[in-house]
Amino acid sequence: MALIKHAAVQIALLSALAPAAQASSHREAPFITRQPKVDGTDFYMFRSYEPGREQFVTLIANYVPLQDAYGGPNFFTMDPDALYEIHIDNNGDAREDLTFQFRFTNTFKNAAFNIGGKSVPIPLVINGGPIDGVNPAGLNVRETYTVDVVRGDRRGVRQPVRMAGSGATVFDKPVDNIGNKSIPDYAGYAGKHVYAVNIPGCAIPARMFVGQRKDPFVVNLGETFDLINIKAPAVEFLANAEKNARDDLDDKNVTSIELEVAASCLTSGAEPVIGGWTTASLRQGRLLNPNGGSKEGGAWTQVSRLGMPLVNEVVIGLKDKDRFNHSKPAQDAQFADYVTNPTLPALVEVLFGSAGAKAPTNFPRNDLVKVFLTGVQGLNQPANVKASEMLRLNTAIAPVAKGAQKRLGVIDGDNAGFPNGRRPGDDVVDIALRVVMGKLCTLNIGCAAADAPAGAIRFTDGAYLDDSFFGAAFPYLKTPIPGSPQQ
């Protein structure tokens, strides 16, 4: 069997998109490259597979891409002038029914030394001493956040999420992993910022964590952008062929917003399927202060949107990328042609048609409509659904324990995986490439095998990912890479 070793993500980016675009949704649209603090990179939604937590759903929204661990002195705080949101649609109408809103605040402690009788602020922005607990004395900048729940329209009445026990509404975010001297036990330190919380309207306590994590996405970027500068793939499939490419995000961190909520608090009535997406918004107006800082005002304007992985990256055309980031799922009819008549398979055929990578011939691509816009009937399609792009999860499908998950999810027989939600260990690059080239046609989902000449090819970018890359318990994502000592 011919092996095509280049992911759809990179092929499309190289051939058709802006050169600044990277990874799952890292820097995927022109405007968002200028606003990295509100750039949503990945969104995950899955039945919790931590033992004893199977009746919960974990939501993970990642922001601020391509964080170098040594990126001081300011490191990677969230934007205090932004609104970060996770939205849930639980009746299939493409409108949010439940929204979690996160707002951040930075408090500068202005630590100083007495130098020759004068109190002089230190230049170290984040820390002036060891950090070992929540808001320790050695922390020079304290980053906190609040969380509100809105039911119905996202700009409706807000109700605060409270810390279980104390009822507090302000939560501390752990500082980034500066290094082992400042934070000798980062895993233990970060663990002190996992909170049990009470969500208004939900009788079952939830868990929450917001902080830096190792970037969970895996992809081979650099060589692809250099005119697919990768050694020619093997003619016959080899056992390790899907593990032989470099992961260019291997040394990057990201900031995660994580909630683990009882499934019963997210669903509505007898409908087990929920849809989810994450957004970030900024104020319409910004006035720069010539002495430093800015003044923000006006209505909230959405600038980032992410549900299904790779959509804005490799499905939406360049002229509409910013428009997509500003849009809502209910408005997605304007982008339908990108799904029903996609350019990506044609690009794959242009580059690798001589190796058998022929694009599917069925138009409209009803198989892709099911994956991206409605959910697959019998898997994760709501009873009443309006076509719209979002990640959909059937909460009635039991989770699969770590170690037993299949990295290719549904197309490999694991219905608890992508595109039924998305787990950290789902290799969405390989899955998406195979689906866009017609894998579902071989399963008679939306098309027939004859429509997809390359539907059986095991396409891969060679950057391997499975559940062994992640933990077995909340918050699941790995401890971030330390800035020091450098290996």
Mean per-residue pLDDT of the chain: 87
Is there a domain that residue 331 lies in?
A: yes
pTM above 0.85, yes or no: yes
Give the residue-averaged pLDDT of 236-260.
Answer: 73
* Predicted local confidence at residue 296, as pLDDT: 87
Is there a domain that residue 335 lies in?
A: yes
459 and 7 Cβ atoms separated by less than 8 Å: yes
Is there a domain that residue 25 lies in?
A: no
Q: How would residue 223 be classed by pLDDT, with cut points 50, 70 and 90?
A: low
Before 73, cis peptide (omega within 30)? yes
* Predicted local confidence at residue 235, as pLDDT: 28
**Beta bridge pairs of residue 207:** 196, 260
Is there a domain that residue 467 lies in?
A: no
User: Exposed, middle or buried by CB within 10 Å (0-12, 13-18, 19+), for 344?
Assistant: buried
Of residues 58, 19, 52, 25, the one with CA closest to residue 41? 25
Q: Which of 144-148, 220-224, 338-342, 431-435 has the lowest mean pLDDT?
A: 220-224
* Predicted local confidence at residue 249, as pLDDT: 83
Residue 107 CB neighbour total at 10 angstroms: 13
* Predicted local confidence at residue 291, as pLDDT: 83
Residue 304 reports pLDDT greater than 90: yes
pLDDT tens-digit series, residues 444-453:
999 999 999 9
Q: How far is CA 370 from CA 149, 278, 385, in A?
A: 30, 21, 11
Residue 109 reports pLDDT greater than 90: no
Give the residue-averaged pLDDT of 388-399.
Answer: 98
Helix 344-352 / helix 8-16 crossing angle, nearest 10 deg: 90
The identity of residue 155, as a single letter, is R
CA 25 to CA 291: how far, in whole Å? 34
Q: Which domain holds residue 423?
A: 32-451
Nearest-5° Cα angle at 349, 343 to 353: 175
Give the residue-averaged pLDDT of 329-338.
Answer: 95
Q: How many domains does the chain have?
A: 1
Is there a domain that residue 422 lies in?
A: yes
Residue 375 φ then ψ, to 5°: 85, 160
* Predicted local confidence at residue 22, as pLDDT: 43
User: Which one of 12-21, 86-95, 245-254 scores highest in mean pLDDT?
Assistant: 86-95
Residue 1 reports pLDDT greater than 60: no
Is there a domain that residue 71 lies in?
A: yes
List of residues 6+ apart from 239 with CB closer than 8 A: none
**Tokens at residue 368, please?**
């892709």
CA 154 to CA 86: how far, in whole Å? 10
Q: How far is CA 424 from CA 244, 421, 471, 480, in A?
A: 20, 10, 10, 15
Is there a domain that residue 336 lies in?
A: yes
Residue 106 reports pLDDT greater than 70: yes
pLDDT tens-digit series, residues 18-44:
333 344 556 666 667 778 899 999 999
Residue 125 reports pLDDT greater than 80: no
Nearest-5° Cα angle at 385, 379 to 388: 95
Residue 237 reports pLDDT greater than 50: no
**Tokens at residue 395, please?**
């909460």
CA 260 to CA 266: how far, in whole Å? 11
Is there a domain that residue 476 lies in?
A: no
